[in-house]
Amino acid sequence: MLLPLLAVLCLGMGFRDAHGQEGATTASNGVTVDPSLAEARVNLVFGIRAYRLGDYAAAAARFEKAAAADPESGTARLWLGFARWRLGQREAARMALESAMEARLSTADAVQAEALLRRLGEEPEGTVPFTGPLAAPGIFHFLERPRAEFRVGLTASADSNPLLLPEGAVAVLPEGTVVTDTPSDTALNLDVRAAFHPFYDRRGWSLGLVFEGDGVRYGDFGVADLTQLRGSVHLAWGADPLAYLPGRLGFTRVPRGGGRTAFLLQGAYTDRRIDGDALERLLQLGATFTVRPCATTATQLDLLFTDREVEAAFAGGAEASGTEWSARASQYIYLGDRSRHLRLGVEAGDRDAGLAFDASHVELELELALPLSARWALQFAVSRREVDYDALESNPLFPFFPGTLANQPREDTLDRWGAALLWEPRPSLRIVARAAHVERQTDSGSATAFFPLDYDRDVASLGVIWLF
C-alpha cells in the first residue's frame, strides 16, 4: 500500500535545484543554465585569496561580482565589508555589512558582521584599519560544525484555561480559594537550551549532549507554575540535507549531506516540578530511523519508551507511575524544497500504570511548514488523539459508584490545532507568534453527564529567541 504511494510521490513532483529553480529540466527541451552559482563561487574564492594576500582592492572587486551573481547570499557581502574596511572605506564597509545582515547568512557569519559593525560604530572617523590577525568570515557552511550552541527564549502568553477545567466546574485551589468559573490567566515562559557536540561524523556517528530548562510562571495561578529540567544524549548516524535530525526527544545536529538513511538514538532524564514541588521524573529512550527514498519524500519511524515516576500527591492517590511505549510513523512530503514540507504522522502507544491510568492511544498528526521568504515562515499543525482507558477505575465516578454509574472505562478524544509565524530579523534572533487551541471530550458512559471532563483551552503567545 505504502510503496505505490511513495512511487507516485517520488515520480510525480518537481523539485527545485540549488538556485531555487524548478529542477524539471528535461532532455528534450535542453538545459536551463543559470551561471550565477559558478560565477558567485569562483569570485568569492578568488576574492578570499586576494584578501589573504593583502590585495583588498582586487578582493573587493571580486566580492562585488560574487554578490551581484548571487544576490540572496550574504557571504560575499560580508567579505566585501571586511575588504572595504581594510581599504579605509568605512561607510561602504558599513553598507556592505548591513546588506549582508539582510541577506542569507549563517549564524557564525552574522556574529562576525555584527562585531565589525559594532567596531565601525565605536571607532572614530579616520581610524587606521586594524591590520593584525583577523578572524575571517566563514566560507562554506559545510566547514561549520559548531561544538557548542546556546538558545534563550522568553515568551509571554495569554491562556484561557491554565487549570484545564471543564466549563462550569468548581475548583478548590490548595490555599482554599474556590474557583467557580473557568479561569484565564497570563504567563511568562523562560526556556534555555545548551547543546554540545563532542564529535561529528566519526565513522558516520555524531554525538550531541543537550541540557534544557523551561519555566512557566502564571500571573494568578501559581499552582500551575511548572519548571522542567532535562538532560539528553543524542547519538546519530548519517547526514541530513538540513544538517539536523529530529527525534522524539528533540533534535540534534549532524553533518550537512545526503544519504538514503539515517538513524538517531536518544536518551533523556527529565525532572518536572509544579509550584516548586516535585511532580514527576521521566527516564526516556528513543530511536528514530529515517529513509529518504527520493527527493520529494522521506519516511521516519520512531520508538519511544518512557519510565514515569509520579509523585502520589499529584495523582489523587491513584498509582500513576509506570511505563509507556509508543511507535510513530511519519511521512514527509517536500513541497519544492526540503524546508517546505507536509508531514503526516500516525502514532500508537500503550501506558502501563495503576488501573486508573492504564490506557492505549492512537494519534493522527498533520504538520505543514511553509517558509514565506528568507526571513518569514509559517507553520500549521493539527492532531487528534484518542485514548482508551483499560479499566473501570479510570471512570471519574468509580470511587463513588463502582459498577453502577461508573459502568464503562473512560475514553478521551483530544483535538489540537496550532499555528506559528516566525520572523528572523537577524540570524541570531527570532520572533515567534503562536496560537493554539486544545479541546478534550471525555466519554465516561453514564458518568459523563454527572462528571464531565471536557475542556477547551486557547493559548496565544509572543516570544523572542536568541541564538548564540
Query: Could you tell me the smallest distance in angstroms from the CB atom of residue 259 to other proteins?
Result: 7
Q: Is 462 helix (H, G, I), strand (E, B) or coil?
A: strand
16 binds other proteins (CB under 8 A): yes
Q: Is 294 helix (H, G, I), strand (E, B) or coil?
A: strand
Query: How long, in residues, is the chain?
Result: 468
Cell of 24: 524539471
Using CB under 8 A, which of the segments 77-85, 114-122, 124-132, 446-454 binds other proteins? Answer: 446-454
229 binds other proteins (CB under 8 A): no
Query: Could you tell me the smallest distance in angstroms from the CB atom of residue 82 to other proteins?
Result: 15
Site for other proteins in 126-145 (CB under 8 A): 139-143
Cell of 364: 493522527
Query: Could you tell me the smallest distance in angstroms from the CB atom of residue 33 to other proteins?
Result: 5
Site for other proteins in 92-111 (CB under 8 A): 104, 106-107
Q: Which lies closer to other proteins via its Cβ, residue 128 or residue 131?
A: 131
Question: How far is the C-alpha of 231 from the C-alpha of 272, rounded, in Å?
Answer: 12
What residues have CB less than 8 Å from 347, skipping those under 6 apart? Answer: 326, 327, 328, 329, 361, 362, 363, 364, 365
Query: Could you tell me the smallest distance in angstroms from the CB atom of residue 91 to other proteins?
Result: 28
DSSP letters along 217-271, please? EESS-GGG-EEEEEEEEEEEES-BTTSEEEETTEEEE--B---SEEEEEEEEEEE
Using CB under 8 A, which of the segments 81-89, 91-99, 118-126, 249-257 binds other proteins? Answer: 249-257
Give the sign of the dihedral formed by CA 93, CA 99, CA 102, CA 103.
negative
Query: Could you tell me the smallest distance in angstroms from the CB atom of residue 90 to other proteins?
Result: 27
Query: Could you tell me the smallest distance in angstroms from the CB atom of residue 422 to other proteins?
Result: 6
Task: Name which position in 92, 117, 158, 171 contacts other proteins (CB under 8 A).
Answer: 171
Task: Name which position in 435, 439, 441, 443 contacts other proteins (CB under 8 A).
Answer: 435
60 binds other proteins (CB under 8 A): no
Query: Could you tell me the smallest distance in angstroms from the CB atom of residue 126 to other proteins?
Result: 32
190 binds other proteins (CB under 8 A): no
The 8-class DSSP code of residue 180 comes to: -
356 binds other proteins (CB under 8 A): yes
Q: What is the CA angle 63-64-67, rounded to 5? A: 85
Q: Which lies closer to other proteins via its Cβ, residue 131 or residue 180?
A: 180
Cell of 366: 498533520
What is the total count of residues that contact other proteins (CB under 8 A)?
138
Q: Is 307 helix (H, G, I), strand (E, B) or coil?
A: strand
Site for other proteins in 284-323 (CB under 8 A): 292, 294-295, 310, 313-318, 320
Task: Name which position in 90, 119, 217, 256 contacts other proteins (CB under 8 A).
Answer: 256
165 binds other proteins (CB under 8 A): yes
Residues 19-58 vs other proteins: string with x where CB under 8 A? ----xxx-x--xxxxxx-xxx-xxx-xx-xx--xx-----
The 8-class DSSP code of residue 324 comes to: E
Amino acid at 266: Q
Amino acid at 305: F
Angle at which helices 75-86 and 107-122 cross, to 10°: 30
Q: Which lies closer to other proteins via its Cβ, residue 89 or residue 160?
A: 160
Task: Name which position in 63, 79, 85, 251 contacts other proteins (CB under 8 A).
Answer: 251
275 binds other proteins (CB under 8 A): yes
Are 263 and 220 within 8 A, CB to CB? no
425 binds other proteins (CB under 8 A): no
Query: Could you tell me the smallest distance in angstroms from the CB atom of residue 461 to other proteins?
Result: 7
The 8-class DSSP code of residue 104 comes to: B
Are 355 and 322 within 8 A, CB to CB? no
What dihedral angle (degrees, nearest 10) is formed by the CA atoms of 25, 29, 35, 36? -50
How many angstroms separate the most distant Cα atoms in the chain? 90
Residues 381-420 vs other proteins: string with x where CB under 8 A? x-x-----x---xxxx-xx----------x-x-x-x-xxx
Using CB under 8 A, which of the segments 90-98, 124-132, 166-174, 325-333 binds other proteins? Answer: 166-174
